[in-house]
Amino acid sequence: MTDSSNLQSHSLTRIDAGGKVTGATQYPGDLTPDNLLHGKVLFSGQPHARMLSIDLSAAEAVPGVVMILTAKDVPVNEYGLIMPDQPVLVGLGSQNRYADVSLWEADQVAVVIAETEAAAAKARGLIQISWEQLPIVTDVFEAMKDELVLHPWHGSNILKHYQIRKGDMAAGWAEADVIVEGDYRLPYQEHAYLQPEAGLGYIDAAGRVTVEVAGQWAHEDLVQVAHALGLPENQVRVIYPAIGGAFGGREDLSLQIVLGLAAMRLKEMGIERPVRIIWTREESILGHHKRHPAYVKTKWGATKDGKLTAITAELILDSGSYACTSTKVLGNANLMVTGPYEVPHAHVDSYAVTTNNVPGGAFRGFGGPQGAFAAESQMNKLAEALGMDPVELRLKNVLRDGSLLTTQTPLPPGISLAEVIERCAQEFNWDKGWPPALAGDDHQSQERSQFTGIQSLPPDTKSLRRGRGFACSFKNVGFSFGFPERCEATIELFGDTEIERVVLYHAGADVGQGAHTVFKQMAAAALGVDVEMVELDMSDTATSGDSGSASASRLTWMAGNSIRGAAEKALEAWQDEDRPAVGHIRYSPPPTEPYDPVTGACMPNFSYGYVAQAADVTVDIETGHIRIERITCANDVGKAINPISIQGQIEGAVVQAYGYSILEQLQLKEGRILNPYFSQYLIPGIKDVPRQVDSVIVEEADPLGPWGARGMAEMPFLPVAPAITAALHDATGIWFDEIPLTPYRVVSKLREHGIGID
Amino acid sequence: MKDNQSISVTVNGKAYQRAVEPRLLLSDFLRHELGLTGTHVGCEHGVCGACTVLFDGQPVRSCLLFAVQANGHEVLTVESLAEDQDALHPLQQAFWEKHGLQCGFCTPGILMTLLPFLESNPNPTDAEIRLALSGNLCRCTGYQHIVEAVKLAAQNA
């Protein structure tokens, strides 16, 4: 239904802001019920080692220690979002025959429960473990040789290989007048949500093992907790209190199972007391997955008038020690590495590879940023090789209604990328007025000391060079490649002749993006009542059906369709004079398909969002410091239900991608993270970020979206890095095929090409 | 706990007498001893600014102070800004109206950093606002709407 008539765009202020500005909002670590016990988790610290023995005696003797859980206490000692390849607790005596081997430094091995946090920490330090060291594999290219297979049951370190075979490559290269190549390297990225993992485990009044934690998909957490605890699903409950950011980093489990396990085992001991665990920042950075590092070799051909003829690409993701969502991330990267363009001949091989490094997993963009960096860099190099404007070149090749993807299927109707590109170029003044004057009080200064933060630099500005760059992207909305997609909603209407009260039950997670505010707006519009009338009962598996995750830019789209459906049913029941009138729906979008194993042919997705960006960048060629003057981001959101929230998502995504492009550098050595602190892993502060982010909201309706809306939260992340490297090329004449663009990397590369100040 | 030290500290206008372990952090004291969980802990080593409180009127990171250092001093946390959500401080109101927060975890520290800043500089420029907040990390917003919120707060003060 594209009918948008009964929903007015409205920047309704966040319904949760009152609690957040007063400090009343409870995040998981703030939950402090009476009679609380405290837990600490011991990590193995071993990137690859076999446990020979574990001795708890000294730890158990610490006053205040109530219980120490190890592998033998886990009923079904395995879990994982897409495959159960990870032990809940690495160690001895469980039914999982592989659970004695630690493959990751942050494999959990024991949980100490004590009267105080200090006692738990002290006891944790007294657990004695003897390890047999095993050889470690940290290089993906070494791992792919399979000389040492890390998961014996899998048979290979190549966790997944996808391929695309479209057209006739020989013909494609024969038609090409120009060919450009690239060898791209993309780094890890840490989510760095401000709220470290924390949670509460207890037995609720109905006797259920209950976990209150910050996650992204309550019902999937429940399924995994129930599986590991060997409990029926109706004996487990998951509740999300306020969530302090997620960005994909909470899609895999952290504390969910061990909190549930602790509550269950305590009850068996006759102790019905809640247990709370709060991770430190160090534990958070060590203990959850990252954005995958990627290696992309690719070659693109085009005719002299700028039509793409052929693309080959080989893409490798370091998926680390456990699968997490790596195969799904790989599927996206495999699709996006050829860009949002129509190409007649394509040959792509993509691999997710197991190593002893930190696992790769979901992070805003989900394989898209890695693919987009290669694809958009290639497009910008083609523009240079052809002497063509990069905007014009994109418009010649971009996907349009009826275009076939590399999967040999068309995208769903409503492809708006050409319009988005044109809007971005227009708002940025791409065709005229370059370079624009720098405006605003903090834009004026071109003083180098202020620019770099290095006060001792000479004040002259002849080392400053300015350039502009362009990039665009597409990204799926919702689960892909045949993964079952669904979203449930329930609405109750109370009153007599008039509706007096509305309650919406939904499990969709508000991770900070403002989902619950938008749910309320959509419910009000679907029912034709005031927003204030809608009460929410959110993110509790005891009251809501399965919503699917807060990921894949899917929640407004999927929840909106479920809320519309539930509202229609509730209104029908109201007409039938049911009191209360109840409507429940399990909404399913059109089905998608997995890749054909040989050709990759499939219908990968049911909806997409489209985005284009232009970047205005200054670089100091002497120091390598980069400042982003402005990023203009045009994003097709289909229908802007809450425009100010959309601006917030665009600005936040651009800044996170700025960090990915320039600042953030996770350091690993022999499978161990060296900088698990905010003092050493730098995320963008307010003085680092682009001086100005222009959000250009385009509204080309998605025919299947609720009120025409599209998903949008990930899309603005994707073009940032390639737009910045294009601008850097414009400023210096040098292509940077590897990020982050740290001053050291920039200076080294410029000097290699003889660029600098005498 | 014979090593505990006795302290007297005024928090949000209320006097507290407590015996505390000498290494107890002020942030943990506020959160766990007094139940003032609006002060958030994001990094435990003074980088993120989420735990910022006012110490005799000056913004400090409560994760970098021991509770015993607050003996005889006055501490204000985010809970001091408003009695309830219907009577917000103009700064809180501006963050709500201008979408100056998303997940909200960094927000209390940002508000407490801004409170004395806006008192001493009621009409700040963008550059001054950005300098004032250069010690507070936010991973959600990209900061632009935070700056807008501060400008609105200055206008409405």
A245 touches chain B (CB under 8 A): yes
**In angstroms, rounded to a whole number, what is the distance separating the alpha carbons of residues A576 and A569?**
11
Q: Give the alpha-carbon dihedral of A43, A49, A51, A57, to 10 degrees.
A: -40
Topology of A31-134+197-278 in CATH?
Answer: Aldehyde Oxidoreductase; domain 3 (3.90.1170)
Judge if B96 and B31 occupy the same domain. Answer: no
Q: What is the pLDDT of residue A440?
A: 52
Question: Averaged over A449-474, what is the pLDDT?
Answer: 80
Verify whether the Cβ–Cβ distance A23 to B77 is below 8 Å. Answer: yes
Kindly state whether residues B102 and B131 are assigned to the same domain: yes
Contact across the interface for A687 and B134, Cβ inside 8 Å: yes
Q: Domain count for chain B, please give it.
A: 2
Distance between CA A479 and CA A502 in Å, rounded?
30
* Contact call for residues A529 and A491 (beta carbons, < 8 A): no
pLDDT of residue A434: 82
End-to-end CA distance of chain B: 47
Listed residues B80, B111, B129: the one ending a domain: B80
Any chain B CB within 8 A of the CB of A735? no
Q: Is there a single domain that holds both residue B66 and residue B97?
A: no
Residue matched to tokens 């890095």? A721
Say if residue B116 is in the same domain as residue B95.
yes
Residue where a domain stops, chosen among B33, B55, B80: B80
Question: What confidence tier does A462 reach under pLDDT thresholds 50, 70, 90?
Answer: confident
Give the domain CATH number at B94: 1.10.150.120
Of the candidates B44, B79, B103, the beta carbon closest to that of A511 is on: B103
Q: Average pLDDT, stretch A234-259? A: 98
Is 60 exceeded by the pLDDT of residue A401? yes
Q: Within this chain, do residues B21 and B75 fall inside the same structural domain, yes or no?
A: yes
Tell whether B67 and B97 lie within a shared domain: no
Q: Is B78 on the interface with A (CB under 8 A)?
A: yes
Instruction: Judge contact between A200 and A32, C-beta under 8 A.
Output: no
Domain spans in chain A, listed from the N-terminal domain onward = 17-24+486-587, 31-134+197-278
> If DSSP codes are grouped into helix, strand and coil, which group holds residue A725?
helix
Domain boundary among B55, B80, B105: B80
Non-local CB neighbours of A359 within 8 Å, separated by 6+ positions: A104, A252, A289, A290, A319, A320, A321, A322, A323, A324, A326
Q: What is the mean pLDDT of chain B?
A: 97
Do B10 and B76 sit in the same domain of this protein? yes
Answer yes or no: do B37 and A32 touch at CB < 8 A.
yes
- Per-residue pLDDT tens digits for A603-653: 999 999 999 999 999 999 999 999 999 999 999 999 999 999 999 999 999
State the DSSP string of A488-522: EEEEEEEESSSEEEEEEEE----SSS-HHHHHHHH
With a cut of 70, say whether residue A451 has pLDDT above it: no
Task: Give chain B positions within 8 Å (CB) of A21.
Answer: 78, 81-82, 88, 92, 95-96, 101, 104, 107-108, 111
Structure tokens at A184: 């791209």
- What pLDDT does A459 receive? 65
> Is A33 part of the contact surface with chain B (CB cutoff 8 Å)?
no
Query: Is residue B132 in some structural domain?
Result: yes
Q: Over the stretch B63-116, which tens digit does the pLDDT of each residue have? A: 999 999 999 999 999 999 998 889 999 999 999 999 999 999 999 999 999 999
Q: Tell me the chain A residues in contact with residue B81 when contact means C-beta distances shorter than 8 Å.
A: 21-22
Q: Which amino acid is present at A617? A: V
Cα separation, A70 vs A450, in Å, equals: 54
Residues of A in contact with B43 (CB under 8 A): 281, 677-679
The candidate with the shortest Cα–Cα distance to A449, out of A461, A438, A439, A437, is A461
pLDDT per residue as tens digits for the range A66-85: 999 999 999 999 999 999 99
- Lookup: tokens for A39: 């837990």
Which of B39, B81, B133 is nearest residue A686 as measured by Cβ atoms? B133
For residue A237, give the nearest of A210, A260, A275 by alpha carbon: A210
CATH 3.30.365.10, applies to A17-24+486-587: yes
Q: Are strands A178-186 and A198-203 parallel, antiparallel or unpaired?
A: unpaired
For residue A278, what is the nearest residue in chain B, using CA coordinates? B41
Measured CA to CA in angstroms, residue A641 lies from A247, A530, A550, A716 at distances of 21, 15, 17, 17
Query: pLDDT grade, residue A441 (50/70/90)?
Result: very low
B45 near A CB under 8 A: yes
Q: Which residues of B touch A17 (CB under 8 A)?
A: 95-96, 101, 104
Per-residue pLDDT tens over the stretch A310-342: 999 999 999 999 999 999 999 999 999 999 999
Question: What are the residues facing A626 on neighbouring strands?
Answer: A619
CB-CB under 8 Å, A644 with B97: no
Determine how many CB atoms are found less than 10 A away from the CB of residue A299.
Answer: 17
CATH of the domain at B56: 3.10.20.30
The alpha carbon of residue A277 is apart from the nearest alpha carbon of chain B, in Å, by: 13
Mean pLDDT of chain A: 96
Claim to verify: residue B11 and residue B74 sit in the same structural domain:
yes
Domain hosting residue B105, numbered range:
90-156
On whether both B102 and B75 belong to a single domain, the answer is: no
**Which of A106, A105, A98 is closest to A77 using CA atoms?**
A98
The verdict on A644 touching B (C-beta cutoff 8 Å) is yes
Q: Name the residue facing A686 among B38, B77, B143 (closest C-beta).
A: B143
The pLDDT score that the predictor gives to residue A443 is 42
Q: How confident is the model at residue B3 (pLDDT cuts 50, 70, 90)?
A: confident
Decide if B32 and A242 are in contact by the 8 Å CB cutoff: no
Question: Do B105 and B72 sit in the same domain of this protein?
Answer: no
Which of A 163-202 lie inside 8 A of B, CB atoms?
191-196
Write out the two tokens for A45: 């610290």
- Whether residues A656 and B44 touch (CB distance < 8 A) is answered with no
The answer to whether the beta carbons of residues A350 and A367 sit under 8 Å apart is no
Contacts for A294 with CB less than 8 Å, ≥ 6 apart: A184, A185, A186, A315, A316, A317, A318, A333, A370
In-domain check, residue B105:
yes
Same domain assignment for residues B109 and B71: no
B85 occurs within a structural domain: no
Buried b (16+ CB within 10 A) or exposed e, A600-628: bbbbbbbbbbbbbbbbbbbbbbbbbbbbb
Could you tell me if B68 and B125 lie in one domain?
Answer: no
